[in-house]
């Protein structure tokens, strides 16, 4: 199936990608790679230790999806802190001094019980070999996973990870720690997708405990293979990177930059085809938004 506006539709290049999703519980709606999966252009390896969430994933999965019951970490046994708000359960202990700053969090972060669980290293899981993209959201344990997945990360093109700017958990690595490590592995920070703020107590706006204001608390951060060194990537890697950036994040300028390098290596002309189809209504996808500003449709061109 060719999805309108997809990378496949715009370039007629049937590139297939492999995506590992650590913490695949679909509590936040469709994943960013949904278009690639819908078009039959992605293979998914998901990890979800929550039995109910795993059952739901397996019930709805397609032929190109597999889901494993492992908790991913450093290969050791850990204490799992199960919280009143299931989305806050973590291998890290909730930090009450930070949680009490925000409405709702002291309740959601209350530890109901603990369990001892075994973890696996991503480097040791055969099903994870050769992935193009890693998506991960495991409530503060992301850096532990990265530190024990250096072999797999050396093959990867994109990392989509939740990051925090305040330690919601005790001794939790923050955005700066994650960025520094991934940079050491050859990745560059690309963009947030998005960030989330919360109102600091005691202020409240419209009786909405989920409302945000000034304090950014967490977000999803997108890291890409160093775009100043694209010549180190092979043509298949460049196509996979372009497809992921287009379908998942609408990073059209970076997609074009990657395709220019692809054409340089192969002698092909996918970059001008992509640009032409991207800007030709009605086939082109909607223009990206950044900070609430719309880039006028039809104002894209090569310089």
Place of tokens 């950044």: 290
Which pLDDT belongs to residue 1?
64
The set of residues, in sequence order, having a beta carbon less than 8 Å from that of 89 and lying 6+ positions away, is: 80, 81, 82, 83, 139
pLDDT in tens, 244-280: 999 999 999 999 999 999 999 999 999 999 999 988 7
The string of pLDDT tens digits covering residues 146-195 is 999 999 999 999 999 999 999 999 999 999 999 999 999 999 999 999 99
pLDDT in tens, 75-108: 999 999 999 998 899 999 999 999 999 999 999 9
Number of CB atoms found within 10 A of residue 66's CB: 13
Confidence band of 135 (pLDDT split at 50, 70, 90): very high
Burial 228-256 (b: 16+ CB within 10 A, else e): eebeebeeebbbbbbbbbbbbbbbbebbb
What fold characterizes domain 7-227? Answer: Rossmann fold (3.40.50)
Min mean pLDDT across 27-31, 156-160, 207-211, 264-268 is at: 27-31
**pTM, two decimal places:** 0.93
Q: Can you tell me the distance from the alpha carbon of 159 to that of 297, in angstroms, rounded to the nearest whole number?
A: 29
């Amino acid at each position: 199936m060719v999805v309108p506006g997809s990378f496949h539709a715009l370039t007629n290049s049937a590139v297939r990608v492999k995506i590992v999703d650590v913490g695949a519980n679909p509590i936040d709606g469709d994943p960013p790679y949904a278009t690639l999966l819908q078009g039959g252009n992605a293979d998914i390896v998901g990890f979800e230790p929550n039995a109910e969430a795993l059952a739901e994933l397996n019930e709805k999965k397609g032929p190109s999806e597999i889901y494993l019951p492992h908790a991913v970490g450093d290969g050791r046994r850990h204490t799992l802190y199960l919280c009143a708000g299931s989305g806050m359960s973590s291998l890290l202990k909730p930090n009450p001094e930070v949680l009490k700053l925000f409405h709702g969090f002291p309740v959601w972060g209350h530890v109901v019980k603990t369990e001892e669980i075994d973890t696996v290293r991503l480097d040791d899981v055969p099903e994870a070999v050769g992935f193009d993209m890693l998506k991960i959201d495991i409530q503060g344990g992301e850096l532990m996973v990265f530190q024990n997945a250096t072999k797999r990360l050396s093959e990867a093109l994109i990392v989509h990870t939740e990051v925090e700017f305040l330690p919601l958990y005790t001794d939790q690595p923050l955005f700066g720690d994650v960025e520094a490590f991934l940079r050491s592995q050859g990745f560059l920070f690309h963009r947030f997708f998005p960030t989330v703020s919360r109102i600091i107590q005691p202020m409240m706006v419209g009786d909405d405990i989920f409302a945000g204001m000034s304090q950014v608390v967490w977000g999803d951060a997108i890291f890409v293979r160093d775009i100043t060194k694209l010549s180190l990537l092979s043509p298949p890697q460049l196509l996979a990177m372009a497809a992921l950036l287009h379908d998942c994040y609408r990073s059209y300028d970076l997609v074009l930059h990657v395709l220019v390098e692809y054409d340089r290596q192969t002698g092909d002309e996918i970059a001008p085809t992509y640009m032409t189809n991207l800007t030709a209504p009605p086939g082109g996808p909607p223009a990206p938004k950044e900070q609430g500003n719309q880039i006028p449709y039809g104002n894209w061109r090569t310089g």
